[in-house]
């Protein structure tokens, strides 16, 4: 029997497998819930949280820091009420989890160290670091401490002295 060489669209392949199709539907439902809940939050919070899951009677949210987790807790009742309205489920608990890595793709959160503001190192700290570095037997640790003690304003364009 000759093999059929016609191409099948990926979307069709994904919908044929029922377990995969169920997983895709679940992901889309959570994404829709996320979008609908964020409408009820202040704009400052929207970029710092997302719906991770609804399991049993619990809404699970992810956020990128403990600061935003605290802010989300103030919205506890609003989030639970709107989740109940949207899903039709009896949601009684809110679980907020801090996962900084979940938000690294977000342009609102700079992850490139060069985009972060540089802190000035005090002269006293620099002297102390150099002193500790000079006492190190491990050459790579000594080198790292010397780099740390260096004044960033004296570096060249390549980042080296």
Q: What is the pLDDT of residues 65-75, one digit of tens each?
A: 999 999 999 99
In this prediction, residue 60 has a pLDDT band, given cuts at 50, 70 and 90, of: very high
Model confidence, pTM: 0.56
Shared domain for 147 and 72, answered yes or no, is no
Q: Are residues 24 and 103 in the same domain?
A: yes
In a domain, 159, yes or no: no
C-alpha to C-alpha distance for 115 and 158, rounded to whole angstroms: 16
Q: Are residues 101 and 23 in the same domain?
A: yes
Residues 90 and 30 in one domain: yes
160 versus 80: which is more confidently predicted?
80
Residue 11 in domain: no
Distance CA 36, CA 156 (A): 49
Domain span at residue 128 reads 123-154
Count of domains forming the chain = 2
pLDDT per position as a tens digit, 108-160: 444 444 544 556 778 888 888 888 888 888 888 888 888 888 865 544 433 44
* β pairing state of 49-55 and 58-63: antiparallel
Domain membership of residue 115 (yes or no) is no
Q: Are residues 99 and 28 in the same domain?
A: yes
Co-location of 61 and 87 in the same domain: yes
74 in the same domain as 134: no
CA distances from 135 to 55, 113, 139, 144 (A): 55, 29, 10, 13
Percentage of residues in the chain having pLDDT higher than 90: 41
Quote the CA–CA distance of 149 and 130 in Å, as a whole number.
Answer: 6
Residues 97 and 31 in one domain: yes
């Amino acid at each position: 029997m000759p093999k059929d060489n016609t191409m099948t669209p990926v979307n069709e392949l994904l919908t044929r497998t029922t377990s995969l199709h169920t997983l895709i539907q679940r992901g889309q439902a959570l994404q829709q819930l996320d979008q609908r809940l964020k409408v009820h939050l202040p704009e400052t919070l929207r970029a710092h949280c997302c719906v991770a899951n609804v399991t049993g009677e619990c809404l699970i949210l992810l956020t990128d820091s403990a600061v935003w987790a605290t802010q989300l807790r103030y919205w506890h009742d609003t989030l639970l009420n709107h989740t109940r309205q949207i899903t039709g489920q009896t949601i009684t608990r809110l679980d907020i989890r801090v996962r900084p890595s979940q938000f690294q793709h977000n342009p609102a959160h700079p992850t490139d160290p060069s985009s972060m503001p540089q802190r000035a190192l005090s002269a006293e700290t620099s002297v102390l670091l150099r002193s500790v570095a000079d006492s190190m037997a491990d050459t790579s640790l000594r080198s790292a401490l010397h780099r740390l003690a260096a004044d960033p304003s004296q570096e060249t364009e390549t980042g080296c002295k």
